[in-house]
Amino acid sequence: MKLTDMTAVELGTAIRERHVTAMEAVEAVFAVIQEREAQLHCFVTLDREGALRRAQEVQKQIEAGKLNGPLAGVPAGIKDNLCTRGMRTTCASRILENFVPSYTAQSVARLEQAGAVLIGKTNMDEFAMGSTTETSAWGPTKNPRNPAHVPGGSSGGSAAAVAAGECFMALGSDTGGSVRQPASFCGVVGMKPTYGTVSRYGLIAYGSSLDQVGPLCRDVRDCAALLEVIASHDPKDSTTVLRRDTDFTAALQDDVEGMRIGIPRDYFAEGLAADVRERVLAAAQVLRERGAVVEEFDLSLVEYAVPAYYTIAAAEASSNLERFDGIKYGYRARDCQDLHQMYKKTRSEGFGEEVKRRIMLGSFVLSSGYYDAYYLKALRVKALIRQAFDAAFADYDVILGPVAPTTAPLLGESLQDPLKMYLGDIYTIAVNLAGLPAISLPCGTDRHGLPVGLQLIGNRFEEKKLLRSAFAYEKAAGGFRNCREVD
Amino acid sequence: MGKQYETVIGLEVHVELATRTKIFCGCSTAFGGAPNTHTCPVCMGMPGSLPVLNRKVLEYAVLVGLASNCEITRYCKFDRKNYFYPDNPQNYQISQLYLPVCQNGYVEIETEDGSKRVGIHEIHMEEDAGKLIHDTWEDCTLIDYNRSGVPLIEIVSEPDMRNAQEVIAYLEKLRLLISYLGASDCKLQEGSMRADVNLSVREAGTQKLGTRTEMKNLNSFKAITRAIEGEQQRQIDLLEAGEPIVQETRRWDDANDCSYAMRFKEDAQDYRYFPDPDLPPVRISEEWLERMRAALPEFRREKMERFRREYGLPDYDLQIITQSAHLADLFEETTALCKEPKKVSNWLMGEMLRLLREREKDPADIIISPAHLAALILMKDKGEINGAAAKEVFEAMFDEDVDPHSYVEEKGMKVEADTDALREVLGQVVAAHPKSVADYRNGKEKAIGFLVGQTMKVMKGKADPGAVKEMLRELLQKES
């Protein structure tokens, strides 16, 4: 087996057992990068020298027995909205073009403590706003499966890098599907944990009440191992929750006997591509054959999730992005006559179209006279959606559906019609509104050979049940290795 | 005869809390650090940083609320107030709009017209901003974020006050409560207490409120009094002239004793308040609240009663000593050491108040330690120093809290009590002033005062006049 075909856990084992060194692993991914990055553009920043130095350190610590975790020595990519001390962090925006953080995000710090080797920062939609990675100020990322198509977004760089072999695992962030949807489009595994499981400290905020950092990996075992490392109760993030059940790898059992799986009829209504529908229902059948009880049910409220999400996320974003003003760091417009003009020019020139659109939308829904009609109403919808899921989880262990209505669109297709792009998030965003964990798994390809994603949704804090069902599906499907390969 | 007008005043008082660290991060709140040294990613508004509430801030806010008879909100939240200005690194201030921590309270104030209740609409927690420094020489603006994130509470009163006396009494009352709690030193001049005055006038006897203005930049009780008097007159003049009063924010210019408009209501910003998603709502349990109630200190009235009972001090002394918790503590701790309550009280009422006035300081600034004050009182009692010297030592203690023993030693101020040197001087003085001696012996009691004065002069003050007088009496009796 080629080194870069290994999963992260396989590589970690090979390093611990001295078959491979951490430096060789870094050299291997940079060989792939050398070959494919010019075409794919998965990364915003790459640091080969730093990665090699770090690999040597890690190797020493492994040999000294100081590092023995499953991910020690494994090269990782980090989404460019996670702060990395000393390494440029841009959020794929001109406004942070030369921003070098003075501290490292908590999730990244935990990954480093586990011995992972950071090789660079992955491309994304600007400030995580977008579903295709095309709103990046540094140009789009291409889908490794078919470079004419987008990789999805906003964590498109992370998903594409893992799929292409440019790294073994990556961190992304998921506000409305930004980990799960690109995972689905690129044929890898992506997971959004329960809100409050992974610290947001150092994650440059988009929609603070919805944002969660999540893993993008090659299989479910990697996903569990990576989540186990980054999950933490962080005193620096008051929204994290103290959990004692974060030994997620312990949940990897190939057993769904008697597990109750619900399929929301609402998720298979109008707008869902036939190929996607067929693949996802076939996946459900696989689980049924493994002994799961699979039933259809009505989730309701699905059509309200998109407007509620875009109201809440945009409102929070409009405030979160106020700090980018040209005063303290980042881009500052030249030749300004006064403070007001400096704000205006800096922000007009520094932010891209989609970010400006959401800032305006968010400012509008929070403005006096509209707050109750939009923002408060959206919060009420959020509460109702949460209740609808609570009711569903009274009956089911896991909810099954598609990740996205279609497979990866062609480059340039989506930004023409933002509203249509927003509707593409219909199956993922309700999960964020309800704070639930969900995982995206490859479940075959459409007639053009583009990957289709299966979404499994768990109840709050029930990642283990979710991972067990995902692991069982992966086993039944014979693994995901062929999903990543280019035809 | 012209119309009678009534002035209606409500106050918004900001108080800086005396926590060691900031409201949402672990940075120091200490004054005087080099610019931007008491900062971190959180209070600098760096991307990705998150606020975490300092529990001490909640405690202080709740204590102030309990002390001012407020209802404590059991489920309170923080909101973001969005506005662009460089002193605010995130371009939003974390404050409380929808569910402030304390609501519906009151304090009792005393004025010449008797006592009165002033309602407290709410008390909320928020963060202070950084400081802009305009460098006119270089023509640029610099920012110091050391103050960014320093905890504040804002106490919003009901429009229950009618004149400047009531406003001052209200502020004095707040200052007393808050300083007794140790929640703040409440200094107007230094900005740890800031008051904005909302004022309107209406025809006497009417119920409807007039259009109000808000006055900012009031840094002393004098400025507040002047501003209130000026603003009510300005509004009455406008009404008399048939002109409308514009709802606006005005800035008090203390140097020129007048105010000018800062911004009008039409320019009012839309702050787009919404709940801060980074801070979970604060749930206050009955149990925790009970602990806070139990932690309330002895306030002024109770302290006065106890001091009267335990130390037998007269009312006048009690009034003065309990005007600040710090002064009262100093009294009590010093008395415990020297067992002379009245003497301690006399020092605090006399020299201490004189020096506070002279140095324009606040009782909270007093640095004299109880041990040193007690030592001074005992030294004077034993006649080791005389009254004039004691005052000099006290002043040095006021400025630098010197140890009175070593200070007296160093300065050679110790009284020459009953020494040979003093006896020799007495002999000389008696010999040199036979007329006064004769006068004294002939029953002119006053003459001895002159002889004491002469002795003190020769001794250069290093003697106790009382002791000298006694020794002279003895001497003259013997010789007669």
Identify the burial level of A461 via C-beta atoms within 10 angstroms of its C-beta, where 0-12 means exposed, 13-18 middle and 19 or more buried: middle
Tell me if A2 sits within 8 A of A216, measured CB to CB.
no
Residue A66 annotated as catalytic: no
Query: What is residue A143's DSSP assignment?
Result: B
> Is beta strand A438-445 parallel, antiparallel or unpaired with respect to A451-458?
antiparallel
Q: Are residues B343 and B472 in the same domain?
A: no
Rounded to an integer, what distance in angstroms lies between the CA atom of residue B259 and that of residue B253? 5
| Residue B372 falls inside a structural domain | yes
- Here the CATH number for the domain that contains residue A252 is 3.90.1300.10
Given a cut of 80, whether residue B460 has pLDDT beyond it is no
With contact defined as beta carbons under 8 Å apart, do A225 and A189 qualify?
A: no
SS3 track for chain B: CCCCEEEEEEEEEEEECCCCECCCCCCECCCCCCCCCCCCCCCCCCCCCCCCCCHHHHHHHHHHHHHCCCEECCEECCEEEECCCCCCCCCEEEECCCCCCEEEEEEEEEECCEEEEEEEEEEEEEECCCEEEEECCCCEEEEEHHHCCCEEEEEEECCCECCHHHHHHHHHHHHHHHHHHCCCCCCCCCCCEEEEEEEEEEECCCCCCCCCEEEECCCCHHHHHHHHHHHHHHHHHHHHCCCCCCCEEEEEECCCCEEEEEEEHHHCCCCCCEECCCCCCEECCHHHHHHHHHHCCCCHHHHHHHHHHHHCCCHHHHHHHCCCHHHHHHHHHHHHHHCCHHHHHHHHHHHHHHHHHHCCCCHHHCCCCHHHHHHHHHHHHCCCCCHHHHHHHHHHHHHHCCCHHHHHHHHCCCCCCCCHHHHHHHHHHHHHCHHHHHHHHCCCCCHHHHHHHHHHHHCCCCCCHHHHHHHHHHHHHHHC
Distance CA B56, CA B246 (A): 41
Q: Residue A442: enclosing H or E segment and its boundaries? A: strand A438-445
Question: Chain B residues with CB inside 8 Å of A98's CB?
Answer: none
What is the separation of C-alpha A104 from the centre of its chain, rounded to a whole number of angstroms?
19
Q: What is the pLDDT of residues A384-402, one digit of tens each?
A: 999 999 999 999 999 999 9
> Which member of B45, B273, B278 has the closest CB to residue A323?
B45
| Number of independent structural domains in chain B | 3
Question: Is-contact A260 A458, C-beta < 8 A?
Answer: no
Q: Are both B428 and B387 inside the same structural domain? A: no
Is B264 a member of any domain?
Answer: yes
- B413-447: per-residue pLDDT in tens? 777 666 777 888 888 888 888 888 888 888 888 88
Confirm if A140 and A411 have CB atoms less than 8 A apart.
Answer: yes
Domain boundary, last residue among B223, B258, B287: B287
- One domain, residues B467 and B365: no
B259 and B338 co-located in one domain: no
* Contacts of A110 by beta carbon, 8 Å cutoff, 6+ apart: A229, A230, A232
When mean pLDDT is compared across A64-73, A144-153, B312-321, B416-425, the lowest value belongs to: B416-425
Q: For the residues of A349-381, what is the DSSP string, one character each?
A: HHS-HHHHHHHHHHHHHHSTTTTIIIIIHHHHH
pLDDT in tens, A413-427: 988 888 888 888 999
Average pLDDT over every residue of A170-196: 98
Record the tokens describing residue B333, joined without a space: 């701790």
Residue A337 lies in a domain: no
Least confident range from A7-21, A408-422, B258-272, B279-293: namely B258-272
Q: Average pLDDT of chain B?
A: 92
Q: Is residue B260 pLDDT above 70, yes or no?
A: yes
The pTM score is 0.90
Please compute the mean of the pLDDT values over residues B183-187 and round it to a whole number.
91
Question: Residues of A with CB below 8 A from B143's CB?
Answer: 327
Whether residue B356 lies within 8 A of chain A, CB to CB, comes out as no
User: Which whole number is the average pLDDT over B106-132?
Assistant: 95
Would the CB atoms of A367 and B51 count as touching at under 8 Å?
no
Instruction: Find the CATH number of the domain harbouring B424.
Output: 1.10.10.410
Q: How many CA atoms lie within 13 A of A321 on its CB side?
A: 32
d(CA A73, CA A54): 9
Is A178 one of the annotated active-site residues of the chain? yes
* Active-site hit among A178, A232, A318, A440: A178
What part of A 12-71 touches B (C-beta under 8 Å)?
none
* Digit-coded pLDDT (tens) for B335-350: 999 999 999 999 999 9
Whether B51 and B187 map to the same domain: the answer is yes
Tell me the per-residue pLDDT of A334-369, one tens digit each, with 9 for 90 and over.
999 999 999 999 999 999 999 999 999 999 999 999
**Is B233 found in the same domain as B141?**
yes
Give CA–CA dist B82/B74, Å, rounded. 25
CB-based contact B86 A339, cutoff 8 Å: yes
- Please check the confidence at residue A302 and state whether its pLDDT lies above 90: no
| pLDDT greater at residue B111 or residue B27 | B27
Which residues of A fall within a CB distance of 8 Å from B274? Answer: 315-316, 319, 366, 371, 375
Q: Evaluate whether residue B293 is within a structural domain.
A: no
Nearest to B204 by CA among B379, B28, B3: B3
Residue B185 is assigned to a structural domain of this protein = yes
Q: Both B426 and B310 in a single domain?
A: no
Q: Which two tokens stand for residue B351?
A: 């020299």
- Count of domains observed in chain A: 1
- Domain carrying residue A36: 3-256+436-443+451-484
Helix residue spans in A64-131 (DSSP H):
106-113
**Whole-number pLDDT of residue B423:** 81
Q: Is residue A191 part of a domain?
A: yes
Which structural domain, as residue segments, surrounds residue B436? 420-479
Among B287, B318, B337, give the residue marking a domain's end: B287
Q: Is the pLDDT of residue A176 over 90?
A: yes
Instruction: Kindly report the length of chain A.
Output: 487
Task: Report the residue from B45, B92, B278 with minimal CB separation from A239.
Answer: B278
**pLDDT tops 60 at residue A14:** yes
- Shared domain check, B395 and B335: yes
Q: What is the mean pLDDT of residues B472-476?
A: 82
- Whether A237 and chain B come into contact, CB under 8 Å, resolves to yes
Q: How confident is the model at residue A487 (pLDDT cuts 50, 70, 90)?
A: very low
pLDDT tens sequence across A202-258: 999 999 999 999 999 999 999 999 999 999 999 999 999 999 999 999 999 999 999
Q: Residue B324: is the preceding peptide bond cis (ω within 30°)? A: no
Q: What is the largest CA-CA distance in chain A?
A: 70
- For B79, phi then psi, to 5°, come to -125, 155
Percent of chain A, pLDDT > 90?
Answer: 94
Per-residue pLDDT tens digits for B215-250: 999 999 999 999 999 999 999 999 999 999 999 999
Q: Is the pLDDT of residue B267 over 80?
A: no
Residues B136 and B73 in one domain: yes
CA of A201 vs chain B CAs: smallest distance (Å): 6
Residue B403, Cβ density class (10 Å: 0-12 exposed, 13-18 middle, ≥19 buried): middle
Say whether A368 is catalytic: no
Residue B121: φ, ψ to 5°: -70, -50
- CA–CA distance, B353 with B351 (Å, rounded to integer): 6
Same domain for B191 and B92: yes
Can you give the pLDDT at residue A340? Answer: 93
The DSSP H or E segment spanning A432 is helix A429-433
Tally of CA atoms within 13 A in the half-sphere of B185 that contains its CB = 14
Contact B89 A101 (CB under 8 A): no
B251 with B316, same domain? no
Q: What is the pLDDT of residue B384?
A: 83
Which residues of chain B make contact with A103, given a CB cutoff of 8 A?
Answer: 41, 46
- Tell me if A301 sits within 8 A of A378, measured CB to CB: no
Q: Where are the alpha helices (DSSP H) in A231-372?
A: 274-289, 302-320, 339-350, 353-366
- The residue with greater pLDDT, B343 or B136, is B343
Q: What ipTM did this prediction achieve?
A: 0.96
Catalytic residue among A107, A154, A158, A184: A154
Phi, psi at A166, each rounded to 5°: -80, -10
Torsion of CA A181, A185, A190, A191, to 10 degrees: 20
> Which of B226, B259, B287 is the last residue in one of the domains?
B287
Q: Are residues B130 and B259 both part of a single domain?
A: yes
Each residue's pLDDT tens digit, A285-301: 999 999 999 999 999 88
Asked if B419 reaches chain A (Cβ–Cβ under 8 Å), the answer is: no
Phi, psi (deg, nearest 5) at residue B389: -65, -40
Report CB contact under 8 Å: A238, B143: no
Q: How far apart are CA A230 and CA A213, in angstroms?
A: 9
pLDDT tens per residue, range B348-403? 999 999 999 999 888 888 999 999 999 999 998 887 888 888 999 999 999 999 99
To the nearest whole number, what is the mean pLDDT of chain A?
96
Which tens digits make up the pLDDT trace of B287-302? Answer: 999 999 999 999 999 9
Residue numbers in A near B278 (CB within 8 A): 205, 208, 238-239
